[in-house]
Amino acid sequence: MLPCQGRGRGFKSLPPLMKDKTQIVFSYLQKIPKGKVTTYKILAQKTGIKNPRTVGTIIHKNTDTKKYPCHRVVRSDGTIAEGYAFGGKNAQIEILKKESVNFKGKKVDLVNHLFTL
C-alpha cells in the first residue's frame, strides 16, 4: 500500500487529467501551518476538483509527510478519516495534538484550527 492510502482505497495511478491537479494539491499541503488543518472539501474547491474524495485519492499518493503534511487534512465535520498510512488514525490524532491542534471529542476544533488557504 502506498503511504497515506486507506484500506480499500488503493489506486495504482491517477487519470491523466488529475496529474496536473496533483501538483496543485501538494502545493497547497505545503501551505498549511503547524497547529492548523484544512479539509478535503476546501482543497477540492481551491483546485477545481468536483469531489473531495478525489483530493483524498491524490493525497494518498504522498510519500513525504515532512514536505507534504497530509495529516493536516480532515473531513469537513472535523473528524479524522480512516486509514492514515503512517500509523493509523490514532497516530494522525497524536501528530495533530503535538502540533497544538485541539479536539472537541473526536473532532478537530475547526473554529480555532481551520486554515482556509
Enter the pTM of the model.
0.84
- Residue 8 to residues 77, 88, 111, Cα–Cα distance (Å): 22, 14, 31
pLDDT tens, residue by residue, 23-46: 999 999 999 999 999 999 999 999
What residue ranges do the domains of the chain occupy?
18-113
Q: What is the dihedral sign for C-alpha 71, 109, 98, 93?
A: negative
Looking at domain 18-113, its CATH architecture is Orthogonal Bundle (1.10)
pLDDT tens, residue by residue, 37-92: 999 999 999 999 999 999 998 998 899 999 999 999 999 999 999 878 788 899 99
| Cα–Cα distance measured from residue 98 to residue 78, given in angstroms and rounded to the nearest whole number | 17
State the catalytic residue, choosing from 70, 80, 93, 96.
70
Q: Is 4 a catalytic residue?
A: no
Residue tagged 503534511 (cell numbers): 69
